[in-house]
Amino acid sequence: MREQADAQTSPAFDAEAIAVAGDRRRRRTRIATGSIAVAAVAMAAVGLPQLVDGAGTTGADDLVAESVEPFTERKVGFSTGDVIHWGEQSFSVGVAIAAYVQTDDGFVYTTQKGDVWFYDGAGSERIGHAAYGRLRADDTGSFVAWVDLAEDGTPQYVVYDTGSRSEAARVDDNAAGPSRDQDDEVAEVFAVDDGAAYWRTEEGVVRYDLATGDSELVHRPLPVVDPANKPAQVTDVVDVAAGQIAYLEDDEGSRLLVGEQIGDDAEPMPTGWNGVLSPDGRYIGVEEADELAVYDTATSEAVAPALDGYAFKVVYGWVDEDTAMILGIKDLKGETYPTDFLACDISDGGCEVSSTKELGAGPFALPDGDPMDT
């Protein structure tokens, strides 16, 4: 049996949590008051977690017949309780999911206790522990990353390869010293992109090359010479894709910029406190004050598809370079939230509903690696 602790109640679905996924500064205004109590998810017996379709029937034979590598494709997805919804397929992993991401080999997920598990379509195995419950993965490939803590509390940056089922890197942040408590989140993995991991240390934003083991400081906080004239500081790296870095800068408020480097040549976006880059870095989907926006990162031109009939909508991932995953909540006034999960082509503006769910009656997560209670 898996650890009994892993069966603890997952966080309740909260519409605000969707809006702030990736926004770790907790500055969002609530879009819905209160939260919904969630019953504890019962522990499922260990064995091969069952593959289920929308009707609750098994479909393991269909999965095996699809291909040798069934997870290389990205599909519109989300999780409810212990079930990962992936396009028209669903997979039960037997324990409530706190956060998850997809790799080319399956799904990596965390439990409420922070344990990290890898599900490959046939079963799950525990592969580590994430101190803050967050995961980061690339748009393609087998690498997933998180922050662990050594026995003395020193942060460790972990990168795991789901292809080889082994750790690709474990790097101590010796400059940071022991972490004071679970809320001390100076150490943070921002993104994995094209064979590199990006994380924050006491010194600044670091790019770690997984092939060579070399670290490069890509941004150091600017010194404050005159307290009355403080320089703008980078407060967060939102995402990295195809070498494009999306980051937040505190400059008489907060603004989102995208560029090949953090600096003067980056392009400011019209809006956005958080967001997700397309795999080629051409677009970024953002959300601010409950409004959906997609921008061309080179020109900051607004290119979002027209979507009517939703009280809240947000881009939370990408199927491919042109197709965004969009969550649309139709009504925020009830005890549950009627929600569509859509695939929208940014080039032609067309959208197709992939799934429809009534959210709010249990644990819920998007495949961005962030727990809903962050």
Q: Classify residue 154: in a domain, yes or no.
A: yes
Q: Which range in 168-182, 216-230, 353-367 is most confidently predicted, on average pLDDT?
A: 353-367
Count of structural domains within the chain? 1
pLDDT of residue 16: 57
Each residue's pLDDT tens digit, 99-108: 999 999 999 9
Q: Classify residue 169: in a domain, yes or no.
A: yes
pLDDT of residue 24: 38
Interval 113-123 mean pLDDT: 96
Q: Round the average pLDDT of the chain to a whole number and report it.
A: 82
pLDDT of residue 37: 27
Range of the domain at 152: 130-220
Q: Classify residue 197: in a domain, yes or no.
A: yes
Q: Classify residue 147: in a domain, yes or no.
A: yes
Is residue 130 within 8 A of residue 146, CB to CB? The reply is yes
pLDDT at 214 over 80: yes
Q: 365 pLDDT band (50/70/90 cuts)?
A: very high
Give Cα 33 distance to the centre of its chain: 24
What lies within 8 Å, CB to CB, of 36 at 6+ separation is 12, 13, 14, 335, 336, 360, 361
Can you give the CATH number for the domain in which 142 is found? 2.40.10
Q: Classify residue 201: in a domain, yes or no.
A: yes
Q: Classify residue 142: in a domain, yes or no.
A: yes
Each residue's pLDDT tens digit, 218-238: 999 888 778 777 888 899 999
Q: Classify residue 187: in a domain, yes or no.
A: yes
pLDDT of residue 372: 82
Query: What pTM was computed for the model?
Result: 0.83
pLDDT at 30 over 60: no
Q: Classify residue 140: in a domain, yes or no.
A: yes
pLDDT of residue 40: 27
